[in-house]
Structure 1
């Protein structure tokens, strides 16, 4: 058995390139810079060394994704490695290893990179397009219901009492499985 999964996070090295094949398949190509840390033998200090990873997205996700990516955007990419080899026009053999992307997660806010600014209603692109911010989710708190406050709002609920762990008088023979 073999596993071919890759997870990287870093900044885009260039604006993504969108192209369409003769059969209509959309292909989005971009590069991600990731750092490797090594100790400098002369100074003994840790230094960052960049690695540049080519990434490619196929199909219907390519065009919409190209609108949100730009040089410098920080992303996390998940996918699989693909090795390609070919012969160039001058006859030399060429090869490359790239990531075929399954998932992309945006790690930097659009206000930091790519010409986006965040406001109260969502994100505003430099060209004027408005993007709504995804609502945040927090897990419900298992506590007593909120009490109505006299000033017209809800008071904070009292925290649920902390329960003591069960006694340790349980033996393996008592477990039904």
Structure 2
């Protein structure tokens, strides 16, 4: 058995690139920069080194997120890794990459300069269901109950089992 799960948070490196497959499936491509901290051997100082990760999302969520995501936004992504390889058309030989196929995307900021509460876009998210739900009744507080009569308990050392 193997496990293929990854969680990253970082900033979008470019605006999302929506497209549609010949079969009509929505596809959204975007990149995320995730920092790695390492100590510089010459100076002894800690430095950030960016890792640039490609992400590809499919389906209705891809189309919805293409209208929301923008370069610079902070996001958290949970998904799986996918390996792809192809022959370079310009004679450059065999090419390959590893990308994330997101299952969940959490918006950590609304835009590069403003913060908002995190929003989660997961597979079970359905905007139509969210808008069609009937408003919930506001629960009313229970009427006050009289305080129970206090009871005296007698506990002796012999009654404690340890």
> Is this a same-fold pair by TM over 0.5?
yes
Q: Does 1:12 align with 2:12?
A: yes
| Residue in 1 that maps onto 2:153 | none
Q: Which has the higher contact order (CA 8 A, sep 6+)?
A: 2
Following the alignment from structure 2 to structure 1, what is the Cα–Cα distance between the partners of residues 27 and 112?
A: 27
| Residue in 2 that maps onto 1:102 | 103
| 2:40–2:46 Cα contact (<8 Å) kept | yes
| Residue in 2 that maps onto 1:160 | none
Which aligned segments of 4 or more residues in structure 1 are displaced greater than 3 angstroms? none
Question: For residues 145 and 45 of structure 1, do their structure 2 counterparts lie closer, same or farther at Cα, with a shift above 3 Å needed?
Answer: farther
| 2:4–2:81 Cα contact (<8 Å) kept | yes
Question: For residues 3 and 145 of structure 1, do their structure 2 counterparts lie closer, same or farther at Cα, with a shift above 3 Å needed?
Answer: farther
| 2:72–2:112 Cα contact (<8 Å) kept | no
TM-score, normalised relative to structure 2: 0.69
Following the alignment from structure 1 to structure 2, what is the Cα–Cα distance between the partners of residues 145 and 8?
A: 49
| 2:15–2:71 Cα contact (<8 Å) kept | yes
Q: Does 1:53 align with 2:45?
A: no
Greater fraction of residues in helix:
2
- Write out per-residue CA displacement over residues 4-38 of structure 1, whole angstroms, 9 at most, x where no aligned residue: 00000000000000000111011000000000000
| 2:73–2:112 Cα contact (<8 Å) kept | no
- Structure 2 residue runs of 5 or longer lacking an equivalent are 117-141, 145-159
Superposition map of 1:128-139 within 5 A: none
What secondary structure sits across from 1:64 in the alignment?
A: helix
Following the alignment from structure 1 to structure 2, what is the Cα–Cα distance between the partners of residues 68 and 26?
A: 15
Matched pairs, number: 121
Following the alignment from structure 1 to structure 2, what is the Cα–Cα distance between the partners of residues 110 and 52?
A: 19
Per-residue deviation at 1:110?
A: 4.0
Name the Cα RMSD after superposition: 2.3
TM-score, normalised relative to structure 1: 0.63
| Residue in 1 that maps onto 2:120 | none
| Residue in 2 that maps onto 1:30 | 30
Q: Does 1:112 align with 2:124?
A: no
| Residue in 2 that maps onto 1:21 | 21
Question: For residues 84 and 3 of structure 1, do their structure 2 counterparts lie closer, same or farther at Cα, with a shift above 3 Å needed?
Answer: same
